[in-house]
Structure 1
Amino acid sequence: MKKSRLFLVIIASLLLVFTMVTMFNTLTLKSLQPTPKHFNGTLKEDHAINTLSKAIQFKTISYQDRSKMDLKEFDRFISFLEQSFPVVHEELELEMVNGHALVYKWKGSDSSRLPIGLTSHYDVVPVLEGTEKNWEHPPFSGTVKDGVIWGRGTLDDKIGVIGILEAAEHLLKEGYQPGRDIYLMFGHDEEIGGDEGAASIVNTLNERGIKFDFVLDEGGAIVENMVPGVDQPVGVVGISEKGSATAELTIEGSGGHSSQPKSSTNIGRISAAIAKLEKTQFPADLQGPGEDLFEFVAPEMSFGMKYVFANKFIFEPVIEKILLGQPASAALIRTTIAPTIFHAGEQYNALPEKASVIINLRLMPGDSLEEVKDYIEKTIDDNEIKVTIEGSEASGVSSIDSWHFKTIQQSARNVYDEAIIAPYLMFAGSDAKHYDSISENTYRFLPVQLTSEDLNRMHGTNEHISIENYLNAISFYMEVIRESNQYSES
């Protein structure tokens, strides 16, 4: 009797300690959000709206087959920028790289300090043939109606180019001079990899020994209902982007007549390999940018969710299981596998002598191409299947503790005072990856508040932006320029 009572006392004591520790962790979780400052500025709204509307009307379309690109349209767009932003073109140095990538140098009061870079791209993806009739307003009309600007590029990413130039034009007219040099860099082929745009800009600047404190590109946005347990919109700043690779699995031999099939055909073996990969998946681990995201949003969560994330060391397996339940959150914590193309067979009654599958992979930071290939080979466990892989690994992970990130976070809060601004891992690609080699940090953030439907419109039908969002983007870029002046580090 005494032993059982002692056992109950020990259990009760352990539960009490457990409760005290976990509650302490929860109640002492402090917000990582800076206090918003009131945005100070008056924009020429009519000019800004009209300029973006006209910019949309230029068909600066990138095609995988570069011979299809109408570079005369790109030339006309560049001339349009010169007419629309006279002060920028009078006071800043403009250099054209490869004829169409643009680099503006805004000289600061102290050029000995490392500069910062603001970058976007002005090329857009094509409109899928046959879908033009599905647009409420023509995709290259730049229609302005009911507080909305319509057209390809309103979200991706002429809004960035025009927004940055509007901010610079406004500040220049006020007589503003930055404390350090600022480079405004605009690529013309981001949608097809940026090899002749951003990559060439980087090569040009690198040859001159120019390095950046930080570079800010497009990327995450401010989205409602993004994180469970958080009522406020969450703005996510990409501090890294996943690598993008293509794996091809191929098997040859064992063809013949379909009336006498072997027990395991080429199609069957490739299909089995795919099934194993999809069933097994890459290991999940809440770490790096994914972990940073929840560190920043946890203090703003409802009590129950806050309790779980404040005690991640206990609940991490539960958290990972929850995150794996949705594709978007699962992609935050593991390298993803997506079979996209299957090739096999030409005739209904003949066994194919060759079968292959193309798999798109998005690599987590720290996962190398060689490690991914080894994992695939071990998982499918079929020596007859040849595995090849090519692509790029994840970019470096930028600091969240430095003034660089805090500048972006503060600037976003100054404009969107109710939003929670947090770091995250970007799934898609951007020009930012090219700047990794010449910048201490690269960040990815489109300063607009979007719905999940808006995100689907970026490369789809009915791409548009509200005027309010667009004006807020300009305000944000003005704030980034001003806030970066608060820091004297070089």
Structure 2
Amino acid sequence: MKKKIIISIVAIFVIFIGFTVTKTLLAKSKQPTAKQQTHTLDENRIINNLSSAVKIKTISYENRDQIDYSEFDKFIRFLAETYPLVHENLSLERINEYSLIYRWEGTNPKARPIGLAAHYDVVPVLKGTENDWEEEAFSGTITEEFVWGRGTLDDKVGVIGILEAAEQLVKEGYQPPQDIYLLFGHDEEIGGDEGAAKITDYLNEQNIQLAYVMDEGGAIVTNMVPGIKAPVGVIGVAEKGMADVTLTTTGSGGHSSQPATITNVGRISKAIAKLEEQQFKAHFDGPTKELFEFVAPEMSFGYKYVFENTWLFQPVITKILLGKPATAAVMRSTIAPTIFHAGEKANVLPEKAQANINVRVMPQDTLESLQKDIEKIIDDEAIDVTVEGNEASPVSSTSNGAFQAIQQAARDTYPDAIIAPYIMIAGSDAKHYARAADDTYRFLPIMMEEDGLQKMHGTNERITKDAMIKAVAFYMTLLQETK
């Protein structure tokens, strides 16, 4: 009897191993075969035009009264002078004076129109860091390897890349089958409410529904996914929402020599500690699950075995991903205490304490569900909880022609890269364009330096010349790929 039990256990184990290994070995790649690009590009022209664009100080400030709109007018004039064929052959509509819609008329009126989006405003240089730049922030300096300055990564690279592609294709006599809309916002860095949002209002008023819009977002990076040595390009199929949670408590103040057992400051501090300790529920589904479905077939065998059998290893995977801030952010809505208000004098207990917590919201969560979770976690009726903000954007398809066209163009441009969907943890104008498009995607077609994300809004923003050239090649390919 004992022998039969052992034999049965061994048999089950062998079947189990056979099943999971076979499943791993039979996993099919989700990467399209890269096709050779044959574009003719004037590389010096492209680099010099990006450099010139960077020199124009189209800076967005939270206080709009500080914005120098003469620089925005200067940028728009620069585009007209630099891309004459685009301006001769595409119609141009100015929205709210400074945002731009170019319409490239297609040959087939029944074909669904698409949109390529970018923004040309940039963030200011943090005061006190000006001398930390290796090259002045608005110099547009061109060195042997780089173009330097604000906007080289975020997001004049997109505006110039798209227009360079369009200019070249018009020069070659290309005309798209469907209408192409080039959408350039002027205030993305401060929310896009006067730019992309108004562009979307215009599209809605004209009854223009786009098959898809592709905006900035994910890029091609190295050392992103364990078990993969190749670069990985991530296409945002959704972006997290952003909400501000306010915790408020009031009560008697008094002299600090006779404090209550728990003070207003202590009460709010305790609530924040509970939130940080417990966190929100993790989700291994939606765009995060799709990310690993796309990259798993390309992993080394050990990792591939784990990620091709998530039904078995999901608890382990979740624990590993939650161990690092970067991967935890694609698994759950995040909690970031950012502001605390309480007290004015060192020896006086404040009668009111208030804290702000910035939350980046996963598509699986709502503002209502998050408020209920917060109230349950802190478990303190003396604290008033308010939640205001935006929920996550709709999740776009990865099985349609739009995603496939973007993925194909990325593979054609970077044949060694693995291209996959993901949830974008930052914000973009795409959240506005979602009101006028069936699907929205977020992808900046450049190979990012390892510290590129820090440079994007920080010191020494720059782009390699090769990445800029390939961005133009990508946009040309995409315009010709989409049917």
Structure 2 distance, partners of 1:39, 1:180, is: 22
TM norm structure 2? 0.99
Structure 1 distance, partners of 2:65, 2:3, is: 83
Structure 1 distance, partners of 2:283, 2:147, is: 41
**Superposition pairs for residues 291-370 of structure 1, below 5 Å?**
291-370=289-368
Q: Deviations over 1:285-341 (max 9, x none)?
A: 210000000000000001000000111000000000000010111111111101011
Q: Deviations over 1:34-68 (max 9, x none)?
A: 00000111101111111110000000000010011
Q: Does 1:471 align with 2:469?
A: yes
| Residue aligning to 1:397 | 395
Structure 1 distance, partners of 2:109, 2:166, is: 18
Deviation for aligned residue 1:147: 2.1
| Residue aligning to 1:103 | 101
| Residue aligning to 2:207 | 209
Q: Deviations over 1:55-83 (max 9, x none)?
A: 00000000010011101110011001000
Give SS of 1:245's match.
strand
**Superposition pairs for residues 228-307 of structure 1, below 5 Å?**
228-307=226-305
Q: Deviations over 1:109-129 (max 9, x none)?
A: 012221000000000000011
Q: Which amino acid in structure 2 is aligned with residue 114 of structure 1?
A: R
Q: Which amino acid in structure 2 is aligned with residue 175 of structure 1?
A: G
Structure 2 distance, partners of 1:82, 1:154, is: 20
Select which of 382, 385, 398 maps to 1:384.
382
Runs of 4+ in 1 over 3 A off after TM superposition: none
Q: Deviations over 1:258-296 (max 9, x none)?
A: 111111111111111011101110011210000000000
Give SS of 1:136's match.
coil
Q: Does 1:373 align with 2:371?
A: yes
TM norm structure 1? 0.98
Q: Deviations over 1:418-460 (max 9, x none)?
A: 0000000000000001011111110000000112311100000
Structure 1 distance, partners of 2:126, 2:481, is: 41
Structure 2 distance, partners of 1:394, 1:447, is: 23
| Residue aligning to 1:29 | 27
Give SS of 2:58's match.
coil
Structure 2 distance, partners of 1:47, 1:6, is: 77
| Residue aligning to 1:488 | none
Q: Which amino acid in structure 1 is aligned with residue 151 of structure 2?
A: G
Give SS of 2:409's match.
helix
Q: Which amino acid in structure 2 is aligned with residue 295 of structure 1?
A: E
Select which of 148, 152, 155 maps to 1:154.
152
Note the residue ranges of structure 2 that are not aligned, 5 or more in a row.
none
Q: Deviations over 1:211-244 (max 9, x none)?
A: 0111000000000000000010000000000000
Structure 2 distance, partners of 1:400, 1:118, is: 18
| Residue aligning to 1:173 | 171
| Residue aligning to 2:13 | 15
Structure 2 distance, partners of 1:111, 1:39, is: 28
Structure 1 distance, partners of 2:8, 2:281, is: 37
Aligned pair count? 483
Structure 2 distance, partners of 1:452, 1:258, is: 49
Deviation for aligned residue 1:88: 0.2
Give SS of 2:446's match.
strand
Q: Which amino acid in structure 2 is aligned with residue 467 of structure 1?
A: K
**Percent identity between the two aligned chains:** 58
Structure 1 distance, partners of 2:450, 2:335, is: 23
Q: Which amino acid in structure 2 is aligned with residue 199 of structure 1?
A: A
| Residue aligning to 1:62 | 60
Structure 2 distance, partners of 1:318, 1:424, is: 20
Q: Does 1:432 align with 2:401?
A: no
Q: Which amino acid in structure 2 is aligned with residue 417 of structure 1?
A: P
Deviation for aligned residue 1:95: 0.6
Deviation for aligned residue 1:6: 2.0
Structure 1 distance, partners of 2:37, 2:109, is: 27
Note the residue ranges of structure 1 that are not aligned, 5 or more in a row.
486-490
